[in-house]
Amino acid sequence: MKILVCGASGFIGQHLCVSLVKAGHEVVHGVRKPERPSDVAMDYGRDLDPETWLPRLAGVDAVINAVGILQEIGQRRFDAIHRDAPIALFKACEMAGVRRVIQISALGGANEMGSTLYMRSKREADAYLRQTSLDWSILRPSLIVGADGASSRLFRVFASLPVIGLPGKGLQLLQPVHIDDICAAVLNLLESSEPTRQVIAAVGPEAMTYRGMLQAYRDAMQLAPPIWLPVPMFFMNMAAWLAALFPASVLSPVSLRMLEEGNVADSAKFSRLLGHKPRGADAWFSGLSPDMLRTQAIAAWSLPLFRLALALVWIITGVLSLGIFPVDQSLDLLRRVGLHNVVADIALYGAALLDLAFGLATLLASGRLLWRLQMALIAGYTIIISIFLPEYWLHPFGPILKNIAILALLIVLDAFETRKG
């Protein structure tokens, strides 16, 4: 079968394409920026007319719509991407004689049409497809789990924290489904010889709370029990609003609202489609090393934390040296090192400005050169102090001993640097 997968570059689309090719189908990859011969350019924010879609459907036997966004950004609006473009595609399928269409929609709460623009736009496209003459199927997944999925990576990061913030008490209900089960369901729908024309809730075998889901992620990483911290919804809403300012953020007012509304359904129909029970939480990451999962998750928050802590050390040190700490005492220390008069002034203020520069660079940039320059400076300071002010090694506050911890932190940051390009 020749199958057009719209949204082939997304998390769901990529997995679908791999599964379809393995099953022997010919896949046409519908993407915004074509790179391969099998890619077809499409823009759901602009392609709102059936005639635009007709050339893309030549020779196509089936269409899978796996396009979706969690946030509206610029011209990428829910109504266009979730409703208007899919409806234009469905009309074009009828015009071109493409009979089989699979719509990857979304599972909502108790309100069938949803209470968010995200869900309403999805439902309106579903409603249009259901009244067509096409051989349609609509899959409505709950939260989709996959090691490489953006939401799964985010929840794995949350779950790896020693203190985990919960929206309210974390009792929101979810029924996560594994991406492999989504792919298997799509293959079964495509290979069915009978028209399907059904809406199927694609869910895991059982409902769980948000806290329970994070615990499942934590179990997969073999982590010790955390401290659970309930966060009032007022603060969660503020955090969601701030997170929405970043285009790649999974957390937004829309996603938080959908979490609050719940995301569960009866799994019986989905199980019949699969021919077996969907994958449970204990098998979400089967075959993947807990060490790898844990290292990836902890690195995602520990490396930014290291950079922030390091930047604060440099910036505060620089500010203190510019005059908050008595200048005469600083100059007295420099005299003991052998620096006097103008040379001492230049050394004091030059070092303070260098500290500030390192602090800002640590916040805004990264790279081995930056980390190694800092290592060299700290090593230089330590050697000079060891020669001229050795008593600071014996100071009860350990001002020089702390350099060992900072050097260790810099070594970790240096080790995590990857090649550019």
Residue 198 bridge partners (DSSP) = 137
- Give the pLDDT of residue 55: 95
**How confident is the model over 74-126, as pLDDT tens digits?**
778 999 999 999 999 999 999 999 999 999 999 986 556 667 888 999 999 99
Residue 275 bridge partners (DSSP) = none
Kindly state the DSSP code that residue 163 receives in the 8-state scheme: E
171 closest CA partner among 62, 264, 277: 264
pTM of the model: 0.87
Q: At what angle do helices 327-337 and 341-364 cross, to 10 degrees?
A: 110
What confidence tier does 63 reach under pLDDT thresholds 50, 70, 90? Answer: very high
* Pairwise CA distance, residues 316 & 313, whole Å: 5
Of the listed ranges 25-34, 249-258, 289-298, 407-416, the least confidently predicted one is 249-258
Task: Name all domains of the chain by residue range, CATH numbers in brackets.
Answer: 2-288 (3.40.50.720), 300-415 (no CATH)
268 class by beta-carbon count within 10 Å (0-12 exposed, 13-18 middle, 19+ buried): exposed
Q: Which residues contact 371 (CB under 8 A, 6 or more apart)?
A: 410, 413, 414, 417
* Pairwise CA distance, residues 123 & 100, whole Å: 19
**How confident is the model over 273-293, as pLDDT tens digits?**
999 999 999 999 999 999 999
* Pairwise CA distance, residues 317 & 359, whole Å: 9
Mean pLDDT, rounded, for 367-386: 95
358 closest CA partner among 324, 402, 413, 314: 314
- Give the pLDDT of residue 421: 53
**How confident is the model over 194-208, as pLDDT tens digits?**
768 999 999 999 999
Mean pLDDT, rounded, for 207-213: 96
- Give the pLDDT of residue 323: 85
Mean pLDDT, rounded, for 162-171: 95
169 closest CA partner among 249, 259, 107: 259
- Give the pLDDT of residue 366: 86
Rg (CA), the chain: 28
Beta strands in 92-184 (DSSP E): 100-104, 135-141, 144-145, 163-167, 173-174, 177-178
191 closest CA partner among 46, 3, 353: 3
- Give the pLDDT of residue 240: 87
Is the per-residue pLDDT at 253 higher than 90? Answer: no
90 closest CA partner among 118, 56, 41, 125: 125
Could you tell me if 44 and 83 are in contact, meaning their C-beta atoms sit under 8 angstroms apart?
no
- Give the pLDDT of residue 71: 82
Is the per-residue pLDDT at 13 higher than 60? Answer: yes
* Pairwise CA distance, residues 208 & 213, whole Å: 6
- Give the pLDDT of residue 113: 65
Query: Taking all residues of the chain, what is their mean pLDDT, rounded to a whole number?
Result: 93
Token pair in block for residue 161: 């924290």
The pairs formed by 316-319 with CB atoms below 8 angstroms and a separation of 24 or more are 317/352, 317/355, 318/352, 318/353, 318/354, 318/355, 318/356, 318/359, 319/352, 319/356
Token pair in block for residue 118: 């995200």
23 class by beta-carbon count within 10 Å (0-12 exposed, 13-18 middle, 19+ buried): middle
- Give the pLDDT of residue 111: 59
Q: How far is CA 210 from the centre of its chain?
A: 17
Proportion of the chain above pLDDT 70, given as a percent? 97
Q: Up-side HSE of residue 110: CA atoms within 13 Å toward CB? A: 3
- Give the pLDDT of residue 194: 72
